[in-house]
Amino acid sequence: MRKIISSLEYLIWQRECLCCGREIPDAAQKFCQSCWSNLQRNVSSVYCRRCGANTGVYLSAGGLKNCESCKNEGFAFDTIIRVGAYDGLLRKIILELKNNDSQHINMLRGIIRSALEQAGIKGQIDYLVPVPLHWTKRLVRGFNQSKTISELLTDFAAVNDCLVRTRATKKQVGLSPEARRKNVAGAFAIRKDHEIQGKTVCLVDDIKTTGATLNECAAVLKSAGAAKVYAAVLAVAGNSDSI
Ligand SMILES: [Zn+2]
Ligand SMILES: [Zn+2]
């Protein structure tokens, strides 16, 4: 019975754009034309390679080391790779990730892969390292979305669960940048018997806001001897976004 209800819901759901609710003439499509165009505009290679913020084409092409918004910030990761800004359809798809729905996950496959390809890291990394959840949170949620994203990328590198969250942290939502940094300080460690000395790794997470979590993870990887740490995320949010 539950199966029948969920397939009915699926049919109803398919007639409306998942993002804006507008009716779609073609039931096989999940988003209206306007939302797809929005996604195409959002998914571009023009962003600051240091913090992931939107930048002008000039900065991106000029290979400058930082943009205006990150010039006073220090990051332990070397370069960030992102799909887009945390906005519009991309935001909607990411929010749906918490349901672990395979259709949504498959929508992300192409766009995250092309972000990594455009960044030219194919063949450059030894491991993909998902940002871990504390085991208590994983138990409640049933999965780690960062690992789900990593598993879309296994032909770039093997997924390595070398990082562990050693204590449960408060949600970062609503915390100031400084409070976010403190909240995750010392919360990660490398598992025993995971050798990352001299390796180039790519941290994987869903969203970067201030970068506090990625920074903490990258610092742990670096102090365990990682030669280079990339960070790959689906979206970069403004520091003030309430996520
Ligand atoms: Zn729409
Ligand atoms: Zn920047």
What is the C-alpha to C-alpha distance for residues 52 and 163, in angstroms, rounded to an integer? 23
Residue with tokens 């994203």: 149
Query: pTM to 2 decimals?
Result: 0.85
Q: 24 C-alpha vs ligand 1 centroid, how far in Å?
A: 8
Give CA 211 to chain center in angstroms.
11
What is the C-alpha to C-alpha distance for residues 190 and 41, in angstroms, rounded to an integer? 38
What is the C-alpha to C-alpha distance for residues 172 and 177, in angstroms, rounded to an integer? 9
Q: 59 C-alpha vs ligand 2 centroid, how far in Å?
A: 10
Are 166 and 187 contacting, i.e. CB atoms less than 8 angstroms apart?
yes
Span 120-170, pLDDT tens digits:
998 999 999 999 998 888 888 888 999 999 999 999 999 999 999 998 888
Which domains occur in the chain, in start order?
A: 1-42 (no CATH), 44-236 (3.40.50)
Which residue intervals of the chain are DSSP H helices? 2-14, 33-42, 57-62, 88-96, 102-118, 135-141, 145-150, 177-184, 212-223
Ligand number nearest to the C-alpha of 18: 1
Q: 231 C-alpha vs ligand 2 centroid, how far in Å?
A: 14
Span 154-212, pLDDT tens digits:
999 999 999 999 988 888 888 888 888 898 899 999 998 888 999 999 999 999 998 99
Q: 50 C-alpha vs ligand 2 centroid, how far in Å?
A: 5
Q: 211 C-alpha vs ligand 2 centroid, how far in Å?
A: 11
Q: 215 C-alpha vs ligand 2 centroid, how far in Å?
A: 14
The two three-digit tokens of residue 69, written as one number: 């918004």
